[in-house]
Amino acid sequence: MESPAHRTVSVLIATRNRRDVLAESLRAYERQSYPDIEILVADNGSSDGTVEMLARDFPHVSVVAYPENRGPLALNDLAERATGAYLWRTDDDASPADPTTLADAVQLMEQYPHVTAVTGDILERLIGYQPLDYYPFERPEHIPDEGLPAIECWGTCMMVRREAFLAVGGFWNLFYGEELDLSSRLILNGGELRYQPRLRVRHESAFASKGADALQEVRKYVDRWLLQTESSVRYQWRYFPCWMAFGRTKVIWFGLLISAVSHRFGVRQIWQGLRVTMQAIAWGRAHHLQLTSEQRSRITMDRSIWDVVFRYYKVRWQQRRTSVA
């Protein structure tokens, strides 16, 4: 078997108008112990001098600049250009928390060749760099080196075999939830996903930008809420039969409405969400995958949608209270 030290890791980052946080994240990779890393950045139509900054300060980074925002499709383009056996998909406001993060991820993939992709913990700045509790199942006291079975890899901390990524067609064309869709297709294609909390990434949450005025923050949150609505509904109608997708969408909308009310959305924003929902349903039906009950069981690990929504908002609420305290 080829030595792990000679397997290139290709770091894939898409960015748009976040020059300073991107530069901060890129510097963190200079502290990684793994010796064979290539970094590829897709600039999705930035107007803040990102491309010029990369050329000046990071000449070793491979940059693909697009005149428009291609969303996650830009990451697919980077994966095609990458030379690494492993892809490290991350965000422009995130970076490995430990010097050995990439080396540890490669070691896991090499030691367990049946593992298709692995994810880890995200240390969130907004809650004092505590880990976001994304893993949806009970954790045993001892976590094996192979990690725990997972049904999703989160985008800020994800290593996937390049061959497997390309085989399922990469990401869909919408940020927010693209990792869940990819994870499901990897599983349906015979892949196995793992969660190993020893792999840690720091997330700076550039979405909650420092110094932004209140109105700008509200607009950002509304946009993010609409993206969450669209991607969540899309997923249900792509992978589940109509009767099941309808029921799951109602549960998701229950959570979305709670979020909207807590952020004091108006009727106009709620109406936008309903319109986006109808568009997402149409897209999901157009791209529907006919799955067996066994396949649906594999991509959900028989986890109830009520449990998904309840746990998500419970954890977010607890983290919000902790950050305020």
Q: How close are the terminal C-alpha atoms of the chain, in Å?
A: 51
Domain-wise residue ranges, the chain = 4-203, 214-324
Q: Can you give the length of the chain in residues?
A: 325
Residue 110 has pLDDT above 50, yes or no: yes
Q: What is the pLDDT of residues 138-178, one digit of tens each?
A: 888 899 999 999 999 998 999 999 999 999 999 998 888 89
Q: How confident is the model at residue 2 (pLDDT cuts 50, 70, 90)?
A: very low
Q: In the chain, what percentage of residues exceed pLDDT 70?
A: 90
Angle at the Cα of 286 from the Cα atoms of 152 and 228, rounded to 5 degrees: 45
Q: In the chain, what percentage of residues exceed pLDDT 90?
A: 73
- The answer to whether domain 4-203 has CATH 3.40.50.2300 is no
- Check the CA dihedral 36-11-29-95 and report its sign: negative
User: What is the CA 241 to chain-centroid distance, rounded?
Assistant: 25
User: What is the CA 323 to chain-centroid distance, rounded?
Assistant: 22
Q: Is 295 exposed, middle or buried (0-12, 13-18, 19+ CB in 10 A)?
A: middle
User: What is the CA 55 to chain-centroid distance, rounded?
Assistant: 27
